[in-house]
Structure 1
Amino acid sequence: MAFNKKYIPLIIGVAVAAGVLIGGKLNFTDTSDRLFTSNSKKDKLNRLIDYIDYEYVDDVNTDSIVDVTVNGILEKLDPHSIYIPKNELQRVTENMKGDFVGIGVSFYTYKDTITVIRPIAGGPSEKAGIKSGDRIIMADGDSIFGRQWDNEQIIQKLKGEKNTKISLKIYRKSENKFLDFNVKRSSIPINSVDAAYMLTPVLAYIKINRFAESTYKEFKRALDKLQDEGATKLVLDLRDNPGGFLAIAEQIADEFLEDDKLILFTKNKSGRIEKSFATRRGDFEEGEVFILINENSASASEIVAGALQDNDKGTIIGRRSYGKGLVQREMALGDGSAVRLTVSRYYTPTGRSIQRPYDNGHNQEYYNDYYKRRSSGEFNDEINIKVADSLKFTTPKGKVVYGGGGIIPDIFVPIDQSTQNETLNYIKQSGLINYFVFEELDKDRKSYLGISKQDFVANFEVSDDVVIRFQEYLNIREAAKVTFVAYHQEMKLLIKAALADQLYGSNASEEIINATDDMIEEVLKLIKTQ
């Protein structure tokens, strides 16, 4: 089963935490207690745990103590070395792998019943005949409605081994009948390419939400298709992309850079330097590329942007990126948990580190940097971006770039002021728009059957009545009064995008949102002046 980030807000944090880490995997075949020779520090910790296990007056869950100890150690190192408990590792791994085994539906729990928002295109549920709006009443003879299950419990119930079957009883409201389905579980993609389409006859657009194991293949498939449609210019949207695997970032950068151009280099504690160069396989070396970044573009996103900027390829548009220049490697701890430990720093081709300064450990100031940058006015005017002359570098064509905290764009675009409105942000992040839209669709799904995706994106308009109904919906469900009077048009756009997502998928939703996007408007202006 596939979860959709727009409908399962609680899962977003885990996905993002996983995404911001870069590096490969290191697997030890030996047990954790034999990796290194015995020493007094290790013996001390082992002995303390044994004392608590066998001598302490009360029963204590020493597993939880170990977890706290591991987290405490890592917090003294750097902000991006993290511990992944056993109960979270599978979910984190699946998210970064790019697929998992399930039945292939996006869902949410509606009035205590698991309700299908949309079956994944080409997935086992769609092939079996399950439709949007179907309620899953039973799974393998077990009643699953009317229970207070969280999303993780539901996912575990519906997941299983690949090619195994699950028997589902469905209630289909539109036909007022119960239906039985046998669904064969299969690999379900967790897509990292949210959208890929043509903005103009020659300008393509691709949005990547993270750098997972499957991302390069998804990206390449999308790019090849758009080139076949006539694309000679590309907008690569890396906004709010928290990163992912280093090797995937290198592969994507390679698509734009000429043979033997330096992509980045890494340096570990012993001073060993490893360099990564572009190969001959790049298919968009002659094309023009525009990279969109913002304050939430991190790690692998910054690698791509930095590699292109330092090689004088393309144009970076947006706001200063997050500023993460550390590389993590995943290491198993022998009990099903793992640690992602910082093992090196990476540098862009000109030699700059874009890692934000940090004291040893996870100090609060590091995490509050976003709010500091926001209050300083950096998001509104590039003059407020602080740079240090000591961290000035020069590209081969003489462009000045800076290290010390993120990628500074070539063209600055201030933040959309509507995103600064707390009420509007609350509404967007709460998932209430998606729930409301689902209920609106559920009233009469048949009325949308004859509308093509292209027609919907270009011509469909959300009426004032729908916006009023959404305001009433908020008034009923929220204890505090929530109103968006000053953002009536923005709400229409968000409701239309949510409708498009549930009817046609994220590609249609992104097209609608991008129709009024400031950064894309900046790209279109640049092209017109060429």
Structure 2
Amino acid sequence: MDSGKKVKIWLPLWVALGIALGLFIGSRFAQFGNTGKIDGAGKIDALLNYIDRSYVDTVNMRLLVEEALPNIVQQLDPHSVYISANEMKRVNNDLEGHFSGIGVSFYLLRDTIVVTGIVPGGPSEAAGIQQWDRIVTVDDSLLVGKGLDNDKVLKALRGEKGSEVKLGVVRDDNPQLIDLVITRDDIPVSTVQAAYMLSDAVGFIKIGSFGFNTFREFISAISKLKSMGARGFVVDLRGNEGGPLDIVVAMVNEFLGKGELIVYSEGRNFPRTDNYANGTGTCKDDDIVILIDELSASASEIFAGAIQDHDRGLIIGRRSFGKGLVQSQRSFPDGSAVRLTVARYYTASGRSIQRTYQRGKFQEYEMEALNRYLQGDYANVDTTGTMEPFKTLGGRMVYGGHGIMPDIFVPRDTVGYNSYYNTIVNKGLLQEYAIIYSDMNRNKLKEFDNWEELHHYLTRQPLLLNVVSYADNNGVRRRPYYIQESSELIESQLEALIVRNFFGEEAFYLAFLKKDPLIRKAIQLIETGKATPVAVVKGEYV
């Protein structure tokens, strides 16, 4: 066969191979232009594929994606967020008002787990765990020592409902390890932390957060207080960072009349959605005062804004946080999720709750609470200079755009807050000593029938001297002037912490808020008939 014939035979084959190779190369690098630049909407996928196929070292692509997604989402606004699968479990537990575990509260004392409380009727009580037991081993693995933190403890003690965990505990001064097997179960978490009477006619409800069970707990609290004679309510939302919209709408519904607008939301591709009261509320004729502060956010602000806009009650405290963005959640197959901001919340008067922010520049946004403190906003009435004026349905002036401005400003009580106090609190020494004192004196302290008797006893004990000595032994030197200045604050907080160890969360608030200035003001307004703003005369509500 001559050379010409060979060329004719092989040429089509070489051409075919060239085309195939070109298609292969094109498919590998179709996302990239001639200069190697990524182009088009699929840049992220293109980049990840390029890394996976061509990077010099082996890359854990799953981990790379998990690290990249939060950085992408958090550039949008302060509240859009990517939530990993593990973190999503904790978030859901918080909202659902329960988790699966052994049913104890604990404190890490000198790298040892100390049981400070037991859920009545829970799995630990059934297995024989006692308050002040030290948990030393979990499933025969030692769980003490340096490096132990709350996250490690929770990971070891929580688990699937019905699963078993073996604990080794030390009790009293007995060195013998006690082995106990506990079957994990659902453990309820209360979001309504306290509900009690402030006076013969005024009830108090402290809501720590909003979850799926909060409305049920709220209605139970109202029913309990009404049976005790309450005709007015003080709802404490200080420090409450919010929760589900439908829960807070149901709660506000208890105080508004049929057809009254509670809140609405609207966004670029999110049509306006209105939420109205349906008229079935049980407290439409009862007085209400709401307490807020600089950490009250989201659902707390919706609650306060609705009551304020309808002139239904008074808001007391300090300007709220200013979180009025609506997040829509989308889940991924692995259990992770992204919460993307799709709209803004507005009160009935048209006020936006959300304060301003710059995209991608959120450090100042996150630090605003501290900056406001440094500027003296908590000691003086917040400025309304950058806030847009609106009017309530009754014609009162209110402001929007930077959270909810209270009707009555009450400055933060800073008496006793000095460098010595801040040091012992930040080091955890105040709470730590409360645990040690409670443990050492438990037999005596368990003798009291109620929190008042225990509290009265504690006021006559040298707690201040004791905690100062404890702090001194742990590296915080005595500073007599500052100790004297903080003495009342330290003693009152220490007493409340000890009371909680024996009579629970509600007793803690009863002791801790005994002299609270916002509560005193709220009681005065309700009992003098001034809790509902009818008119404004020189800043006074009549």
Q: Could you state the TM-score of these two structures normalised by the residue count of structure 2?
A: 0.84
Match of 1:448 among 445, 449, 455: 445
- The change in CA–CA distance for 1:45 and 1:414 in structure 2 (over 3 A counts) is same
Partner of 1:120: 119
1:404 aligns to 2:401 (yes or no): yes
Which deviations, in whole Å up to 9, do the C-alpha atoms of 1:465-506 show, x marking residues without a partner? Answer: 321121121122236767633111111101101101111111
Equivalent-residue separation in structure 1 for 2:41 and 2:155 (angstroms) = 37
Equivalent-residue separation in structure 1 for 2:349 and 2:103 (angstroms) = 45
Equivalent-residue separation in structure 1 for 2:468 and 2:93 (angstroms) = 37
- The change in CA–CA distance for 1:269 and 1:456 in structure 2 (over 3 A counts) is farther
The question of whether the paired residues in 1 share the 8 Å contact of 2:206 and 2:237 is answered with: yes
Equivalent-residue separation in structure 1 for 2:139 and 2:67 (angstroms) = 39
Equivalent-residue separation in structure 2 for 1:436 and 1:518 (angstroms) = 27
Partner of 2:158: 159
> Given residue 404 of structure 1, which amino acid in structure 2 is its aligned partner?
G
Equivalent-residue separation in structure 2 for 1:73 and 1:137 (angstroms) = 42
Correspondences of 1:77-92 after superposition (within 5 Å): 77-92=76-91
1:428 aligns to 2:425 (yes or no): yes
* Mean CA deviation greater in 356-365 or 485-494: 356-365
Correspondences of 1:62-461 after superposition (within 5 Å): 62-146=61-145, 148-173=147-172, 178-270=177-269, 272-382=271-381, 384-388=382-386, 391-418=388-415, 420-456=417-453, 459-461=456-458
Equivalent-residue separation in structure 2 for 1:157 and 1:309 (angstroms) = 46
The question of whether the paired residues in 2 share the 8 Å contact of 1:457 and 1:512 is answered with: no
1:48 aligns to 2:53 (yes or no): no
Equivalent-residue separation in structure 2 for 1:68 and 1:347 (angstroms) = 34
Equivalent-residue separation in structure 2 for 1:326 and 1:417 (angstroms) = 32
Give the 3-state SS of the residue equivalent to 1:503 in structure 2: helix
- The change in CA–CA distance for 1:141 and 1:68 in structure 2 (over 3 A counts) is closer
- The change in CA–CA distance for 1:417 and 1:358 in structure 2 (over 3 A counts) is same
Give the 3-state SS of the residue equivalent to 2:88 in structure 1: helix
Partner of 2:20: none
Partner of 2:467: 470
Partner of 2:24: none
1:349 Cα shift? 0.7
Give the 3-state SS of the residue equivalent to 1:460 in structure 2: helix
Correspondences of 1:27-42 after superposition (within 5 Å): 41-42=40-41
Equivalent-residue separation in structure 1 for 2:97 and 2:181 (angstroms) = 25
Which deviations, in whole Å up to 9, do the C-alpha atoms of 1:196-238 show, x marking residues without a partner? Answer: 1111121111111111112112212222111111111111000
- The change in CA–CA distance for 1:375 and 1:496 in structure 2 (over 3 A counts) is same
1:485 aligns to 2:517 (yes or no): no
Which deviations, in whole Å up to 9, do the C-alpha atoms of 1:258-307 show, x marking residues without a partner? Answer: 22211111112136111001123311111111100011111110000001
1:528 Cα shift? 4.2
- The change in CA–CA distance for 1:45 and 1:176 in structure 2 (over 3 A counts) is closer
1:429 Cα shift? 4.4
* Mean CA deviation greater in 264-273 or 463-472: 463-472
1:55 Cα shift? 2.0
* Mean CA deviation greater in 234-243 or 257-266: 257-266
The question of whether the paired residues in 2 share the 8 Å contact of 1:101 and 1:161 is answered with: yes
> Given residue 223 of structure 2, which amino acid in structure 1 is its aligned partner?
D
1:42 Cα shift? 5.0
1:156 Cα shift? 2.2
The question of whether the paired residues in 1 share the 8 Å contact of 2:234 and 2:289 is answered with: yes
Equivalent-residue separation in structure 1 for 2:337 and 2:147 (angstroms) = 30
> Given residue 434 of structure 1, which amino acid in structure 2 is its aligned partner?
Q
The question of whether the paired residues in 2 share the 8 Å contact of 1:239 and 1:297 is answered with: yes
* Mean CA deviation greater in 330-339 or 434-443: 330-339
Equivalent-residue separation in structure 2 for 1:269 and 1:512 (angstroms) = 48
- The change in CA–CA distance for 1:365 and 1:152 in structure 2 (over 3 A counts) is closer
The question of whether the paired residues in 1 share the 8 Å contact of 2:267 and 2:343 is answered with: yes
- The change in CA–CA distance for 1:393 and 1:207 in structure 2 (over 3 A counts) is same
Aligned-pair identity (%): 37
Equivalent-residue separation in structure 2 for 1:516 and 1:332 (angstroms) = 46
1:178 Cα shift? 4.7
Which deviations, in whole Å up to 9, do the C-alpha atoms of 1:124-174 show, x marking residues without a partner? Answer: 212333221011233344443457433222222222322333333332206
Equivalent-residue separation in structure 2 for 1:164 and 1:305 (angstroms) = 42
* Mean CA deviation greater in 275-284 or 58-67: 58-67
- The change in CA–CA distance for 1:210 and 1:49 in structure 2 (over 3 A counts) is same
Give the 3-state SS of the residue equivalent to 1:58 in structure 2: coil
Equivalent-residue separation in structure 2 for 1:297 and 1:252 (angstroms) = 16
- The change in CA–CA distance for 1:458 and 1:475 in structure 2 (over 3 A counts) is closer
The question of whether the paired residues in 1 share the 8 Å contact of 2:471 and 2:477 is answered with: no
Equivalent-residue separation in structure 2 for 1:152 and 1:363 (angstroms) = 27
The question of whether the paired residues in 2 share the 8 Å contact of 1:462 and 1:495 is answered with: no
1:401 Cα shift? 1.0
> Given residue 347 of structure 2, which amino acid in structure 1 is its aligned partner?
T
Which deviations, in whole Å up to 9, do the C-alpha atoms of 1:169-204 show, x marking residues without a partner? Answer: 332206776544333321112221121111112111
Equivalent-residue separation in structure 1 for 2:231 and 2:483 (angstroms) = 41
* Mean CA deviation greater in 373-382 or 295-304: 373-382
The question of whether the paired residues in 2 share the 8 Å contact of 1:208 and 1:238 is answered with: yes
> Given residue 323 of structure 2, which amino acid in structure 1 is its aligned partner?
K
The question of whether the paired residues in 2 share the 8 Å contact of 1:266 and 1:273 is answered with: yes
1:329 Cα shift? 1.9
1:58 aligns to 2:57 (yes or no): yes
Equivalent-residue separation in structure 2 for 1:362 and 1:86 (angstroms) = 27
- The change in CA–CA distance for 1:324 and 1:111 in structure 2 (over 3 A counts) is closer
1:357 Cα shift? 1.1
CA RMSD in angstroms comes to 2.4
Give the 3-state SS of the residue equivalent to 1:505 in structure 2: helix
Equivalent-residue separation in structure 1 for 2:430 and 2:370 (angstroms) = 26
Larger relative contact order (C-alpha < 8 A, sep ≥ 6)?
1
Number of aligned residue pairs: give it.
490
- The change in CA–CA distance for 1:75 and 1:184 in structure 2 (over 3 A counts) is closer
Equivalent-residue separation in structure 1 for 2:230 and 2:295 (angstroms) = 28
Q: Could you state the TM-score of these two structures normalised by the residue count of structure 1?
A: 0.86
1:57 Cα shift? 2.1
1:514 aligns to 2:485 (yes or no): no
